[in-house]
């Protein structure tokens, strides 16, 4: 196993950081690593906003579910799907690209580009000994956060990433078994037994891990998470920003 794969397999979400800020060189290295990710048709349909103002970070932390550690990490990155620059270029070229950028696929392209870039940044950060945590809660507060960040039309925050020096780390979570994720030649719906076995593994993990011990299993936890975060306002938000009209 090479060091890259070891870094990938040792990933954990960190939610306790020291107050040591990242240096400008570290930030530039991380963003440059993010930019090396693949991009659909080389659109580079994303933007990364680094939030350094302490008061602004605290406001975002409150809107993103009251996750205070967002304001405590070394740096906070907000990854946005972005075709705003493409629209401006099209106007300069006297071209109409509204059929594309107002469609659902443009949202997917921007979100995928942002996600690929973010995963590059995360792997780079972890290879440097830093801790990371994705913040999907940015979408819970997407309206207020977009106002705070002055987000224009055709731009949408997808998630945040906290990067910093860890105070503590949890044990690595056991993932779904290989056969639950990898299906050969066709989709396999018969994975109930695999999920039940995995629930026993996750039950043992949560009941014995260092720090907060919990009595839960993966399947119920995953479904409850979906129930807690319906985000029914997302379509209205995207449409209001020019996206997803078609």
pLDDT above 70 covers a percentage of the chain that reads 99
pLDDT above 90 covers a percentage of the chain that reads 94
pLDDT tens per residue, range 158-214: 999 999 999 988 889 999 999 999 999 999 999 999 999 999 999 999 998 766 778
Confidence band of 99 (pLDDT split at 50, 70, 90): very high
Give the predicted TM-score (pTM) of the model: 0.96
pLDDT at position 224 is 96
The answer for residues whose C-beta is within 8 angstroms of residue 54's C-beta and 6 or more apart is: 71
Taking residues 136-153, report their average pLDDT.
98
Asked if 132 and 126 touch (Cβ cutoff 8 Å), the reply is yes
pLDDT at position 210 is 66
Please give the structure tokens belonging to residue 51: 């939030």
Please tell me the distance from the alpha carbon of residue 109 to that of residue 111, in angstroms, as a whole number: 6
Report the mean per-residue pLDDT for the chain.
96
pLDDT tens per residue, range 199-210: 999 999 999 876
57 pLDDT higher than 80: yes
| Torsion angles phi and psi, residue 136, rounded to 5 | -70, -15
Confidence band of 39 (pLDDT split at 50, 70, 90): very high
H-run or E-run covering 9: helix 3-9
132 pLDDT higher than 80: yes
22 pLDDT higher than 90: yes
Count of residues making up the chain: 246
pLDDT tens per residue, range 61-79: 999 999 999 999 999 999 9
Nearest to 33 by CA among 104, 96, 118, 92: 118
Q: Which residues of 194-209 are buried (b: 16+ CB within 10 A; e: fewer)?
A: beeebbebbeebbeee
13 pLDDT higher than 70: yes
Please give the structure tokens belonging to residue 73: 């990490």
């Amino acid at each position: 196993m090479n060091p890259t794969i070891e870094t990938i397999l040792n990933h954990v979400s960190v939610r306790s950081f020291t107050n040591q800020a990242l240096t400008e060189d570290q930030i530039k290295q991380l963003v440059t690593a993010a930019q090396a990710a693949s991009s659909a048709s080389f659109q580079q349909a994303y933007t990364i906003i680094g939030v350094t103002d302490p008061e602004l970070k605290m406001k975002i932390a409150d809107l993103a579910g009251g996750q205070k550690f967002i304001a405590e990490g070394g740096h906070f990155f907000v990854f946005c799907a972005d075709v705003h620059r493409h629209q401006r270029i099209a106007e300069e070229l006297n071209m109409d690209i509204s059929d594309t950028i107002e469609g659902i696929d443009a949202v997917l392209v921007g979100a995928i580009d942002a996600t690929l870039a973010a995963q590059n940044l995360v792997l780079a950060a972890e290879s440097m000994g830093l801790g990371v945590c994705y913040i999907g809660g940015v979408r819970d507060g997407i309206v207020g956060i977009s106002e705070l960040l002055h987000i224009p039309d055709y731009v949408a925050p997808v998630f945040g990433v906290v990067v910093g020096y860890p105070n503590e780390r949890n044990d690595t979570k056991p993932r779904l078994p290989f056969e639950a994720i990898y299906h050969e030649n066709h989709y396999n719906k018969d994975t109930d037994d695999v999920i039940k076995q995995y629930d026993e593994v996750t039950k043992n993990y949560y009941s014995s891990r260092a720090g907060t011990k919990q009595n839960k299993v993966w399947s119920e936890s995953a479904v409850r998470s979906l129930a807690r975060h319906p985000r029914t306002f997302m379509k209205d938000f995207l449409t209001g920003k020019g996206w997803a009209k078609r």
